[in-house]
Chains A and B, each alone.
Chain A
Amino acid sequence: MIEMQDVWKTYPDGTHAVRGIDLKVNANEFVYVVGPSGAGKSTFMKMIYREERPTKGQIFVNGFNLEKLKPRKIPYVRRNIGVIFQDFRLLPKLTVYENIAFAMEAIEAPKKLIKKRTLEVLDLVGLKNKVASLPTQLSGGEQQRVAIARAIVNNPAVIIADEPTGNLDPETSWGIMNLLEEINYRGTTIIMATHNKEIVNTIRKRVIAIEKGVIVRDQARGDYGYDD
């Protein structure tokens, strides 16, 4: 599903964020990415959906070599990847419904399907009664659920979630985790960076620990392993 071969990332200012990562993630896996702040977790994830490009090395997503891909083809690879952010990144002027439908319009899905599928995912995240609300009228947890709905609406093979519960209270965080588990259960690979010890230690999954840009631990059904 996702494979990295000796991937390095040095930012233009000289920061070495990632220094030689080798990794394989299979379809339908759920992977936590943990590690101290500034370790390179976000950089590692951004390279998967090509917001950042590696300075060196190869990345394969769904069989495509991202480094060899023509720029024209990038959008089509991205359609296999759903991204969820700590700060939700919803469009403030669009309603809940529009925010989600937007992701389907962007890939030119047929109109009928857009309506059907959008309502379907809204139902899945439990926000069917909020279709006409604006993001500012929602709680943090509700906004994150809209973001998740947007990420899954195009049926991506992988979901990349960078601290999806980072801005949420514990109870809401558990709700979001249930949702992600459900999505994973339905067949979507999930890679999630997190600082939430309790979640990692309770919902046991594969854990990858990154420190100073390298993988220092890769553990099936692992634990969080830090005391922060």
Chain B
Amino acid sequence: MTINTIGRHFREGGKNVIRNGWMTFASVSSIAISLLILGLFLILSLNVNYLSQQIEKQVEIKVFLQTNVNDETRTAIQSSIQAMPDISKLTYVSKEQGLVELRQRMGENGKAFLEGLDGENNPLNDAFTVEVKEPRQVAQTAEKIQALNDGKNPAPILRVSYGKGTVEQLFKITSIIRNIGLFLVACLALTAMFLISNTIKLTIMARNREIKIMKLVGATNGFIRWPFFIEGALLGIFGSILPVAALTYGYWELMNSVTLNTSVLMVKFKPFLEIVYPVAGLLIGIGLVIGIWGSTISVRKYLKV
């Protein structure tokens, strides 16, 4: 293939996009609409995912120490926990500090209830708050911490708690949500592919005359295929740029306008760029693949003459 011919294929591909005005419009809008819906869903599911990650991150282990534990034992336990691989953060909460936090949490209601519990009367225990790197491993990590009691008499750890039961439930729900999201996105992507390739098939069917004449004058299959290939790619790009632009703009606006409420709702949106890159990448990728695939497949049918 000469440079001249390559140039010709690109020119022809581009010209065809313009020449087949209505068909181009039909293909581009079918691509754009399908990808817009897919993109919306993708953003939704990415955010649900993000939210469930946020919730999972809040899972932590509380390690309560016996009241009679001395400083030396306490430091030993602290460094044993610290040495475990899955630990991301370890904080010591003394019983005095615990009381302050409790008062804060209970506010007015707790005022009378918590009165006179300072100093010697403090019923709380010294404790560690442990955050883990992998929330799904929390049960194992808790067990390991509990095991620090083994072989020691008296046992220094009173209780290890991480919301057993509740945490498992939470993980089950978040993974169901994630899987449903993934499933829906996959279904939508397939539907979009079907819709789009069908439209492209129609646009090419309308041009089998052209292909037939090219074949009759002795054009090679490769020569006929190229402009369609390029045209398909262009349709895919145009069709995906529109929804990407719309979604990017929409998400930007949404993040700017809802930030105030989010702190109240305890809901945070996934950061802008973390949405834009995967969504743009996926939509443009799908658009390109479908555009090229749809037109190549459809042309092939007419090349057999």
Q: Is A63 an interface residue (CB 8 A)?
A: no
Chain A contact patch, size range: 20 to 34
Q: Is B180 an interface residue (CB 8 A)?
A: no
Assuming the contacts A89-B209, A91-B209, asked whether A106 and B217 have C-beta atoms less than 8 A apart, the reply is yes
Q: In the complex, what residues of A have CB within 8 A of residue B5's CB? A: 108
Bitwise, B200-231 to A at CB < 8 A (1) or not (0) is: 00000000011011111111110110000000
User: Closest CB of chain A to B21's CB: distance in Å?
Assistant: 10
Q: In the complex, what residues of A have CB within 8 A of residue B305's CB? A: 51
Q: Are A106 and B4 in contact (CB under 8 A)?
A: no
Residue of A at shortest CB range from B16? A93
Contact pick for A75, options B4, B210, B219, CB 8 Å = B219
Q: Are A91 and B210 in contact (CB under 8 A)?
A: yes
Q: Are B19 and A107 in contact (CB under 8 A)?
A: no
A15-35 residues at the B interface, CB under 8 angstroms? none
Chain B contact patch, size range: 20 to 34
User: Closest CB of chain B to A97's CB: distance in Å?
Assistant: 14
Q: In the complex, what residues of B have CB within 8 A of residue A76's CB? A: 218
Q: Is A96 an interface residue (CB 8 A)?
A: no
Q: Are A106 and B219 in contact (CB under 8 A)?
A: yes
Q: Name B's interface SS.
A: helix
Residue of A at shortest CB range from B212? A89
Q: In the complex, what residues of A have CB within 8 A of residue B215's CB? A: 75, 78
Bitwise, B1-40 to A at CB < 8 A (1) or not (0) is: 0101100100000000001000000000000000000000
Q: Are A78 and B217 in contact (CB under 8 A)?
A: yes
* Bound-state Cα–Cα, A108 to B217, Å: 11
Q: Are A154 and B217 in contact (CB under 8 A)?
A: yes
Contact pick for B217, options A51, A72, A107, A110, CB 8 Å = A107
Q: Are B216 and A51 in contact (CB under 8 A)?
A: yes
Bitwise, B175-219 to A at CB < 8 A (1) or not (0) is: 000000000000000000000000000000000011011111111
19 A-B pairs within 8 Å (CB atoms) are namely: A77-B218, A78-B215, A78-B217, A78-B218, A79-B217, A81-B218, A82-B217, A89-B209, A89-B212, A89-B213, A91-B210, A102-B214, A102-B217, A103-B213, A106-B224, A107-B217, A108-B5, A111-B4, A154-B218
Which residues of B come within 8 Å of A, CB atoms? 2, 4-5, 8, 19, 209-210, 212-221, 223-224, 305
Which residues of A come within 8 Å of B, CB atoms? 49, 51, 72, 75-79, 81-83, 89, 91, 93, 102-103, 105-108, 110-111, 150, 154
